[in-house]
Structure 1
Amino acid sequence: MKRRILGIAAAAALVAPAGAHAPAQTVDAPCNGTGVPIHVIALDMKDRTGSIKVELWPANEQDFLKDDRDLKREGKFFARVWGKVPASGPVTLCIRVPQAGRYGMVFTHDRDGKNKFNIWKDGVGVVSNRAVGRSRPKLAYSTINVAPGGVQVTLKMQYLRGLSGFSPAR
């Protein structure tokens, strides 16, 4: 049992790379500027505390969930947007990509606001809405295809639900 829990914690640490420091843009910022917009709507939030974050990686196994500092050093794409969870209404974030294409995307709910994924409290959302389970999100579940005019995606948030790991609310 202890080994399983430690495995979940290690996998969860990969959801929020160590380089997750200052936001590039906040939820209060309008989604204007250069690039193609991705509008993300999160459903089934456990509560209205803390902050939310959406991160994008290149859509390949070598780079997905890789530390953003390493990607930037290698001249590869990475983007992150932070926001506070609104007290009421829809939970949305908008992030821009340089061009249409395929990206790996993960949405997280940092309930305690410590900017470090807490497996016992925090939530995660992936594009496919398939259960993440006890492992880190898979690229196949997290790939988003962005059209030239942008895209809107609705995610069902997942939180730890016993030994089965992370899954959407039933």
Structure 2
Amino acid sequence: MIPRFALALLPVPFLLSAAPAFAQILIDADAACTGASPAVRVNVTGLKDRTGRLKLELYPANEDDFLKDDTKLKNEGKFFARIWTPTPQSGPVRLCIRAPRAGRYALLFTHDRDGKNKFNFWRDGAGFASNRKLGRSRPELKEAAISVGPGGTTVTIHAQYLRGLSGFAPYKGD
């Protein structure tokens, strides 16, 4: 039987997202953030371990499109970006994702610990720019919204993992 708090997480589209053929794998965030278009540099803290892969997704920052299936967004002619990278074995974790232009976006981070490309709420981690404890509820747009300037922006995301009945929270070690 699935606990009731887990059911609140099941309908979230990011739980079942798959990488499209155009997904980028970025290992050197500084190199990926060079160029003409604005970019979001993300410093990730609080990883539970150094397994699997890390993913960033950038959505339009409106209620209708936030966490919407990427195929639907693309079919509607809307912006969507995703990058994957192997989890670094040591050192700071810095990722970068490009935005098409300066503006407001919604940013999602996930830690795919088993590398299966499907969010496992029992194992995997997630995070948003607000760093508010996610708990058992579906994330709100305001928790993921960021402003990207012409020169880009830098945010720090604290990874969160399932922590018992209270839902998702930052990992503090066992």
> After TM superposition, which residue ranges in structure 1, 4 or more long, deviate above 3 angstroms?
16-19
- Percent of aligned pairs sharing the same letter: 54
Q: Which residue of 2 aligns with 1:39?
A: 41
Q: Which residue of 1 aligns with 2:163?
A: 161
Q: Which residue of 2 aligns with 1:26?
A: 25
Contact 1:40 1:94 (C-alpha < 8 Å) held by counterparts: yes
Query: For residues 68 and 79 of structure 1, do their structure 2 counterparts lie closer, same or farther at Cα, with a shift above 3 Å needed?
Result: same
TM-score by length of 2: 0.90
TM-score by length of 1: 0.92
Q: Which residue of 1 aligns with 2:143?
A: 141
Q: Which residue of 1 aligns with 2:123?
A: 121
Q: Give a deviation string over 1:35-82, Cα, whole Å, max 9, x none.
A: 101101110000000000000110000000000000000000100010
C-alpha separation between the residues in 1 aligned to 2:170 and 2:6? 21
Q: Which residue of 1 aligns with 2:61?
A: 59
Please, which runs of 5 or more residues in structure 1 have no aligned partner? none
Contact 1:23 1:81 (C-alpha < 8 Å) held by counterparts: no
2:98 counterpart SS class:
strand
- Tell me the number of residue pairs that the alignment of Structure 1 and Structure 2 aligns: 169
1:15 counterpart SS class:
helix
Aligned-residue CA RMSD (Å): 1.8
Question: Which of 49, 52, 55 does residue 50 from structure 1 map onto?
Answer: 52
Contact 1:125 1:155 (C-alpha < 8 Å) held by counterparts: yes
Contact 2:52 2:113 (C-alpha < 8 Å) held by counterparts: yes
Please, which runs of 5 or more residues in structure 2 have no aligned partner? none
